[in-house]
Structure 1
Amino acid sequence: MSRFNQRGVKPRVTSPVTTSGARTVTAEGGSGHLRDPRSELFLLAISNVVGTDTFYEKGGDRDDRYQRLVRRLAIEDPRWTAALLAWLRGDGNMRTAALVGAAEFTAERLRNDAPGYSRQVVGSVLQRPDEPGEFLAYWTSTFGRRLPKPVKRGVADAVQRLYSERSLLKYDTESKGYRFGDVLELVHPSPAADKPWQGDLFKHAIDRRHGRGDDIPAALRIVRGRAELMAVPVGNRRGLLGSGGGDRTDGTDGTDGSSRIAAAGMTWEALAGWLQGPMDKVAWETVIPSMGVFALVRNLRNFDRAGVSDEAAAQVAATICDPERVARSRMLPFRFWAAHKHVASLRWGHALDKALNLSLANVPALPGRTLILVDRSPSMFPGFGFSTPNSSDITLAEQAAVFGAALAVRAADPTLVEFGMRSRPVAVPKGGSVLRLIEKFGRIDGTDIPSAVKAHFRGHDRIVVVTDEQTRPGWFPSNASGHGGMRETEIDALVPKNVPVYMWNMAGYKAGAMPSGTGDRHTFGGLTDHAFGMIPLLESGRSASWPWER
């Protein structure tokens, strides 16, 4: 008799977020599972906004746990931790957690006289021109004014890569504690070999920091252009907008005002300040061609209020649903939902729906029958004195709904359910809009994942749960007849071992709701759609790795 070579046998697969075998309880008293340090840090890092309370954990406690894990793994597994921090600021799109993590990583390795990694880690997390100053502010306020060599060299590497005329004009403002000139004087970078103009830029940044930046080098054409525009009398500035430059008595040379504004690196924020008055129709239409996807989506309501033309609106719509522009923007999908929620005009609806779908390109079209459970309990909503991870205006519940709806719209045969202590199905129309489907979700008190599984699992091919994992115990009769009292039943026991359960963790709490990492029980994390790409990978019999190892 064949013992192993039987029909339906599947290869053993693993996923990276792994429970350790140790047990605990969830914040709501259900059976919980502890994860190994790398898994705990990963889930916490991708959902942690430094200094921010969550429903079950104070911001200070959360930050302490994050810092302890980073420091521990900086010594025990520096290669993995360095890769996590680089990915966190890159594809993970978590800015502050990455900066804090890099500083704590470096400080711990210096304390232990551990060579290597630190310079590279510091440089890898600095991806925006204002971040060298942000990093130095955190470092000096936490560890003192002394800057060790790995810090200086990592920041200097980033300065060479990031500092430009446009970044100077956008980010070097008097509101910052560490201006560009301060950073340059502290870390002493050399100009990049392929950027000969950086020498003049660095000198000018230091001069303007010390109030002597009026003499602008000829090589800095954008900075000079901005200075010329700033010299135009305030009363004459609005006349430069649009296609005309006005007569030469207004302080201009008569060239196209729109071109001059673009050539001077004017963002919409800078233009608003330069005008010293409202952004009207002409002002917006002047700057719209140079705006990126994020800025456009952020200002849809302002465009409507100003009454921009249909031609300008068509240009905006074409930009925000352009596949390449959406990919470059690295905008998280729920940002498009937030814009849809807040705009009153219908003219943006199709573009936002298309943009949302483009930003969810990695959500797979799952075959067979899929049960999708979306957590709508109070801990997924605001109103309890905390902000949600990675967003101050979009709740975890909305983020969960975005991804649950996207998965349902793409799935061949979905059962979409919202749950708390109770649960109810949400109808999924064929070929429906993700934005419209999100609007169907409500709010339900309590959190009981086992009961939702028991109520809706009917021989599905897989289960996906989008949640913060902090479930109450699932209480069911201790035998089939209903006699003999009630006992707690975990998710793992309610689903056959050969049916995959994918838990998508939204908040990074310490306790998990089920074992994970082997067999058909897997936990993912983060606010991007990359995690869902692991589902077909695992079901094809291939093990999943950390997202930066793909």
Structure 2
Amino acid sequence: MRFNFKFRAATPKRNHEGAPAYPLTPALALYAAVATAALSDQFYEAADTRLARLRELVAQNEPLFVAQLAVYAREQLYLRSVPLVLAVELARIHQGDNLVSRLVARVVQRADEIPELLACYAQANARTGPKTLGRLSKQVQRGLALSFNRFDAYQLAKYDRNGAAVRLRDALFLVHPRPKDEAQQAVFDQLVAGTLPVPYTWETELSAAGQVAHATPAERQAAVAHTWETLVASRRLGYMALLRNLRNLLEANVSGATIAQACATLADPGQVARARQLPFRFLAAYREVLALNMGAAAPLLAALEAAIVGSAANLRGFGPATRVVLACDVSGSMQQPISPRSKVLLYDVGLVLAMLLQSRCQHVVTGMFGATWKRVALPQGQVLRNVQELYRREGEVGYATNGHLVIQDLRQRREVVDKVMIFTDCQLWDSTGRDNTLAQEWAAYRAHVAPQARLYLFDLAGHGLAPLDVRAEQGVALIAGWSDKIFDVLAALENGGNALTEIEKMDF
């Protein structure tokens, strides 16, 4: 693939607010849509619309790039569903080699992703369940067969979901994987017969503790607390499970020693790196703990601060000579949850990513914009606390999307900066009716104040349009996603690459 070439200026279109906007290249548009795909209804776009747009974009891109992007999304952005969508869509249009089978085997990394991929395959091919799937694409079948061979009895039992449209047993009959040995044949036979051993999980242990026969409520509470303490002490509770259950630990009134061990686990750099958590998950945990207003919460809050800094340990900031502006979009469309089951908003994702970068910059202006633009002075070293401070004050700037005010403020002050970074859904418009645009302000700022300045748009929604032409030689670049991996893209841009350089690195 060749991405590093010049483009002619794009013809402006209109964004969801009716303001001028510029289309992205097919590769950039697919990258942005994938990196921000929750595959659920969003403020401007329904889930079905996003899926249809993904399908169109897959067809517009080279198959190898689509495969590399799917692997990048699964292994670097920690996304699960959208890589399966890319694999299924690629299977619909690409034949003649083993690209699809290799891709399926690569992105299916948990046993429950086998039936999930088949359910996606059924939907994409207008079929309505396991009995109507019929014959699978040969390449999909081969990829899933390779996946089946990787999972043992525990993994198959743990992820065999009751009530799912496609069960692992259904998948086994459709895929017909060849067992690698007699032991695996026995496991497949158990899956078919429904006799796989019930897997031990921390959930089953806690459930048993809460159902002690003939116990009083106080005794059950003590049993649950003891179980939590045992799980933490024995390290049988995974990092993500620990992160999601901090509130439960506090409410169970576990011992101080257990809290201390939980804090040590959360803040341990090695475990943070292995856990591969999206930065906003630390914010979600922080808010759950903060809401309890308990004395025992203080060390957990400190541990979460250490953990989120550790999650971006390789983030390269900028030295004292580099002047940076970080602007966070807090408009109404940014108040959208990233998924139906999450309390985290797009707005929160932008704040977390901005504050991670703020923690590494030596000369930085931080602020938020809606109807107005406001600078907010914040201390370094307190990423989550700073997010909460901005969150508390978001109503001070209103809920429009006047992003051009960030640059207008710099131009009117004649303030020279090196980098402006805007965290937004890219649906910018002028609520005053004057038709001012970010593109106009940026051109004027570069022409009259800071010719060397660069503008980075951190696209958190992936709608396929940008408020200015990121393909022209205007010192503008687009980065998409909710992961700390956006900073790897930033580093690539700083080193002469582009937003797709990291994807091209995928060994596939």
Whichever of the two has the greater Rg, that structure is 1
- Identify which of 285, 301, 322 aligns with 2:229: 285
The one-letter amino acid paired with 1:351 is A
Distance 1:275 1:171, change over 3 A: farther
SS at match of 1:280: helix
Using the aligned pairs only, state the percent identity. 28
Q: TM-score, normalised by structure 2?
A: 0.84
Partner of 1:499: 453
Partner of 2:241: 295
1:206-245 superposed matches below 5 A: 206-208=192-194, 213=195, 223=197
CA deviation map 1:35-83 (0-9, x unaligned): 1111111101111222x2221222222221112212333xxx1111111
CA contact (8 A) 1:371 1:462 kept: yes
SS at match of 1:317: helix
SS at match of 1:410: coil
Unaligned runs of 5+ in 2: 128-132, 212-219
The one-letter amino acid paired with 1:379 is S
CA deviation map 1:153-183 (0-9, x unaligned): 111111112x123213321243334333322
- Identify which of 353, 366, 370 aligns with 1:420: 370
Distance 1:18 1:116, change over 3 A: farther
CA contact (8 A) 1:373 1:419 kept: yes
SS at match of 1:331: coil
Q: Are 2:69 and 1:99 equivalent residues in the alignment?
A: no
CA contact (8 A) 2:20 2:467 kept: yes
How far apart are 1:540 and its partner, in Å? 4.4
Partner of 1:400: 350
Partner of 1:201: 187
Q: Are 2:283 and 1:337 equivalent residues in the alignment?
A: yes
Partner of 2:19: 30
For the residues of structure 2 that align with 1:17 and 1:123, how far apart are their CA atoms?
36
SS at match of 1:372: strand
1:47-446 superposed matches below 5 A: 47-50=36-39, 52-73=40-61, 77-109=62-94, 114-143=96-125, 144=127, 145-146=133-134, 147-161=136-150, 163-192=151-180, 197-208=183-194, 213=195, 223=197, 266-275=200-209, 277=211, 280-288=224-232, 289-343=235-289, 344=292, 345-367=297-319, 368-382=322-336, 387-388=337-338, 392-429=342-379, 431-441=380-390, 442-443=393-394, 444-446=398-400
SS at match of 2:367: strand
The one-letter amino acid paired with 1:432 is G
CA deviation map 1:386-431 (0-9, x unaligned): x4259621001111000111111210110001111201111122x4
Q: TM-score, normalised by structure 1?
A: 0.78
Partner of 1:237: none
CA deviation map 1:94-120 (0-9, x unaligned): 2222212211210223xxx55442212
For the residues of structure 1 that align with 2:192 and 2:495, how far apart are their CA atoms?
57
Partner of 1:508: 462
CA deviation map 1:221-279 (0-9, x unaligned): xx4xx5xxxxxxxxxxxxxxxxxxxxxxxxxxxxxxxxxxxxxx522222234446367
How far apart are 1:544 and its partner, in Å? 5.8
Unaligned runs of 5+ in 1: 1-13, 217-222, 227-264, 478-485
For the residues of structure 2 that align with 1:534 and 1:151, how far apart are their CA atoms?
31
Deviates more, 1:510-519 or 1:315-324: 510-519
How far apart are 1:142 and its partner, in Å? 3.8
How far apart are 1:523 and its partner, in Å? 0.4
- Identify which of 416, 423, 427 aligns with 1:470: 427
Q: Are 2:28 and 1:46 equivalent residues in the alignment?
A: no
CA deviation map 1:350-378 (0-9, x unaligned): 11001111112243221221011111111
How far apart are 1:23 and its partner, in Å? 1.4
SS at match of 2:426: coil
CA deviation map 1:283-309 (0-9, x unaligned): 212222201111001000100111111
Distance 1:493 1:543, change over 3 A: same
For the residues of structure 1 that align with 2:469 and 2:298, how far apart are their CA atoms?
45
The one-letter amino acid paired with 1:324 is G
Distance 1:94 1:349, change over 3 A: same
SS at match of 1:490: helix
SS at match of 1:22: coil
SS at match of 1:128: coil
SS at match of 1:308: coil
For the residues of structure 2 that align with 1:395 and 1:521, how far apart are their CA atoms?
26
The one-letter amino acid paired with 2:387 is I
